[in-house]
Amino acid sequence: MKGAFLKCMKEMVVTQHGEDQWIEILTASDFPNKKPILATSTVPDEHFYSVLKTSQRQLKMGRRQLYDAFADYWICIYGPRLSPRQFEECSNSREFLAVLDHIHETVQRRVRGAKPPTLTMEWQSEDIMIVTYESERELVDLLMAMFRALGRYFNDDIERVEKIDSTHVRVGFAELVDISAAQ
Ligand code: HEM
Indicate whether 113 and 52 sit together in one domain: no
In a domain, 95, yes or no: yes
pLDDT exceeds cutoff 50 at 87: yes
In which domain, by residue range, is 51 found? Answer: 3-61
Mode of pairing for the β-strands spanning 168-173 and 158-165: antiparallel
Mode of pairing for the β-strands spanning 118-125 and 158-165: unpaired
Indicate whether 14 and 52 sit together in one domain: yes
Q: Which of 22, 47, 18, 54 is nearest to 32 (CA)?
A: 47
Alpha helices in 29-139 (DSSP H): 45-59, 63-73, 79-82, 84-89, 93-110
142 Cβ closer than 6 Å to some ligand 1 atom:
yes
Residue nearest atom 9 of ligand 1, based on CA coordinates: 116
The reported pLDDT for the residue numbered 33 is: 67
In a domain, 67, yes or no: no
In a domain, 79, yes or no: no
* Cβ atoms of residues 62 and 25 within 8 Å: no
From 137, 143, 150, mutation site for ligand 1 pocket: most ligand atoms within 8 A of C-beta:
143
Q: For the ranges 11-15, 32-36, 138-142, which has the lowest average pLDDT?
A: 32-36
The reported pLDDT for the residue numbered 118 is: 96
pLDDT exceeds cutoff 50 at 137: yes
In a domain, 120, yes or no: yes
Indicate whether 53 and 107 sit together in one domain: no
Mean pLDDT of 6-24: 96
- Residue 114: CATH number of its domain: 3.90.1520.10
Alpha-carbon distance 7 to 45, whole Å?
14
Distance from Cα 117 to the centre of ligand 1, integer Å? 7
Share of the chain above pLDDT 70, in %: 95
Which residues have C-beta within 8 Å of that of residue 165, sequence separation ≥ 6? none
Domain count, the chain: 2
The reported pLDDT for the residue numbered 179 is: 47
- pTM as predicted: 0.92
Share of the chain above pLDDT 90, in %: 85
The model's confidence at residue 37, banded by pLDDT at 50, 70 and 90, is confident
List, in sequence order, every beta strand (DSSP E) within the chain. Answer: 118-125, 128-134, 158-165, 168-173
